[in-house]
Amino acid sequence: MVLRTLHSLLCGAALALLTVASAHAHLQEGAPQAPPPTPVRVAPVREESLAPRKRVFGELRAAHRSSLALLEQGIVQKMLVREGQVVKKGEVLAALDTARINIAMHVHASTIRAAHATLVEQDAVLVRAERELRLLESAQAAGGTNPLEVSDAQSAVSIALAQIELAKANIAVLDATAGLLKTRLADHVLYAPFDGVVTKRHVEVGSWLAEGAAVVELQATDKLEAWFDVPQELYPFVMVQRAYMDAQRELGAMPELAPIERRMMEVSDALDLSLPVSALRVIPAIDSRSRSFAAILDVPNPDATLPAGLALTGFIPTLEPMPRLVVSRDAIMHGDAGPFLFVVRDGLAVPLQVRIDFPVGEDVAIDASGLRAGEAVVIEGNERLLPMSKVAAVSSTSSPVAAGASK
């Protein structure tokens, strides 16, 4: 009896231990696990010797903008474009009614035919006058005619020759007038002188158009110009920039010019996107009221993605270079408190507020308290990070970065 009771107690205790162990295992399996590190791509912070930049403001303007007119007057018969329509060079934009000019050309063609008939008539008159003159000269040689009659016949030949020349000159004038009428007929049609976009229409179908009056306004889109109002004290620095760009254009891409490219003027749009610019031109005249001058750069726009009138910011290098921290543009994030970036320290994405000083090609020069050259900043994957998130960093050259990159 005692042995049976002891056996029952032992079995119950064993079952209880098994139940507790199983419950503990289930609790461990259902417990929340920490999320895995977020994979990100990083690039090192660099220190470069860069000249400080002065900020100037400007706008994009169309390199070609024309108010197109017709040399003829008349009723607008066709208006083939509307505002915002993209047109190609040589495309018909508008046309005037040509009924009256066509009638004038038909009348003129009849006049030319009459002038040619007159010439044929004058040729026949000349032939007759020459025949009469030869007959009279033969009779004079035989002593059977009056000298006055010979003289009159000679005059008749001269008059016939003069009439022929007059008829030929008249035909030449009529031919020139015919060419003018053809030109006037062509001037009834307005063609696009370059590729562009119609920005304004001044007339409609059926309206009267005076000679030389504007029909449409056309703006080129493939090439724009960046216009900046630059303070007069920056004139020497802008002239240095022009020399840099001239050297780059003449020599092309050369390794020797790499240091110069880091000293070039930078231009960005309202979204802080860098724009390619070239061919810096300067108007060497200081405005007496604003004490500034105009600096102009060419901006290619082959895909028509940039609109005229877009606000621009230019950064002109000045003074002597000094050490500055440089990071990729992709590292910069924008929050409510301003721009910031994530620096990888001990495997964590540590946010740091930064101040953007100026762009440098695809990079930006920044000022950030506590950031040091050589540290790794996140350039890809930063949009999905939270402060102090664990990260698995891979460098921009695809080699792993040590987790403790805070030294």
242, 293 Cβ separation under 8 angstroms: no
Q: What is the reported pLDDT for 145?
A: 75
Q: How far apart are CA 59 and CA 275, in angstroms?
A: 12
How is domain 53-63+220-318 classified at the architecture level of CATH? Answer: Beta Barrel (2.40)
Q: Provide the percentage of residues in the chain whose pLDDT is more than 90.
A: 68
Of residues 74 and 395, more confidently modeled: 74
What is the distance between the alpha carbons of residues 267 and 273, in angstroms, rounded to a whole number? Answer: 8
The bridge status of strand 189-191 relative to strand 311-317 is: unpaired
Q: What is the pLDDT of residue 249?
A: 77
Query: Minimal CA–CA distance to 299: which of 65, 89, 63, 86?
Result: 63
3-state secondary structure of 17: helix
Tokens of 349: 């994405």
What is the distance between the alpha carbons of residues 210 and 177, in angstroms, rounded to a whole number? 22
Q: What is the 8-class DSSP label of residue 20?
A: H
Residue pointed to by tokens 């119950």: 12
Which residues on neighbouring strands pair with residue 340, listed in sequence order?
333, 353
Q: How far apart are CA 291 and CA 287, in angstroms?
A: 5
pLDDT bracket for residue 253 (50, 70, 90): low
Query: For position 58, what pLDDT does the model report?
Result: 96
pTM exceeds cut of 0.75: no
**pLDDT over 60 (residue 260):** no
pLDDT, residue 262, reads 58
| Residues 123-167: tens digit of each pLDDT | 999 999 999 999 888 888 887 778 888 899 999 999 999 999 999
pLDDT at 119 over 60: yes
Q: Please provide the CATH number assigned to the domain covering 35-50+319-407.
A: 2.40.420.20
Q: What is the model's pLDDT at position 259?
A: 53
pLDDT value for 144? 74
% of the chain beyond a pLDDT of 70: 86
Sketch the domain layout of the chain as residue ranges. 35-50+319-407, 53-63+220-318, 67-95+190-219, 98-187
Looking up tokens 């035909």, which residue turns up? 171
CB 183 within 8 A of CB 71: no
- The angle subtended at Cα 64 by Cα 59 and Cα 69, nearest 5°, is 130
Structure confidence at residue 141 (pLDDT): 83
Q: For the domain 98-187, what is the CATH code?
A: 1.10.287
Q: Is the pLDDT of residue 387 over 90?
A: yes
pLDDT above 50: residue 16:
no
Average pLDDT, the chain: 86
Mean pLDDT is lowest, of 9-18, 63-72, 184-193, 349-358, for 9-18
**The CATH number of domain 67-95+190-219, selected from 3.40.50.970, 3.40.1370.10, 3.30.40.230, 2.40.50.100:** 2.40.50.100
Q: Do domains 35-50+319-407 and 53-63+220-318 have the same CATH topology?
A: no
Angle between helices 99-141 and 147-186 (to 10 degrees): 160
Confidence of residue 32 (pLDDT cuts 50, 70, 90): low
